[in-house]
């Protein structure tokens, strides 16, 4: 029983996403250049660990068209905000990547 509970806790947001239909966008992973500050001018809803919201590199986003507000790296107080218009499909995991020095949304390939 403890092993099953451990596996559920390890999967970041599995239960949380199962019940609300949102997709994950990975942003603050190792090697990432951009950090999501807000989605549609509202604070980014990050996956929760227990009762705390930490700097977990996963943002939950409802399916549909959105505008992400990004900063470069983890500097959330940066004066330079970059906007990225995106379209999210339910149940698909995404990652913020960089191409030609600019942020873009790519579907995450499952391993």
**pLDDT, tens digit (0-9, with 9 covering 90-100), for 23-58:** 989 887 666 788 899 999 999 988 766 555 555 678
pLDDT value of residue 8: 46
Nearest C-alpha neighbor of 59 from the set 102, 29, 98: 29
Higher pLDDT, 109 or 78: 109
Q: Report the predicted TM-score, pTM, of the whole model to 2 decimal places.
A: 0.72
* For range 65-75, the mean pLDDT: 85
Count Cβ atoms below 10 Å from residue 66 Cβ, excluding itself. 17
Number of domains in the chain: 1
3-state secondary structure of 58: strand
Q: What share of the chain is helix, strand, coil (3-state, %, to 5)?
A: 15, 45, 40
- The range of the structural domain enclosing residue 44 comes to 2-107
């Amino acid at each position: 029983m403890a092993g099953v509970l451990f596996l559920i806790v390890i999967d970041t947001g599995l239960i949380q996403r199962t019940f609300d239909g949102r997709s994950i966008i990975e942003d603050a992973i190792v090697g990432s250049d951009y950090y999501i500050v807000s989605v549609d001018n509202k604070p980014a809803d990050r996956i929760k660990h227990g009762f705390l919201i930490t700097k977990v590199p996963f943002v939950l986003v409802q399916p549909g068209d959105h505008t992400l507000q990004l900063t470069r790296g983890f500097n959330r107080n940066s004066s330079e905000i970059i906007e990225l218009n995106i379209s999210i499909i339910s149940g698909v995991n995404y990652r913020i990547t960089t191409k030609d020095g600019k942020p873009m949304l790519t579907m995450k390939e499952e391993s």
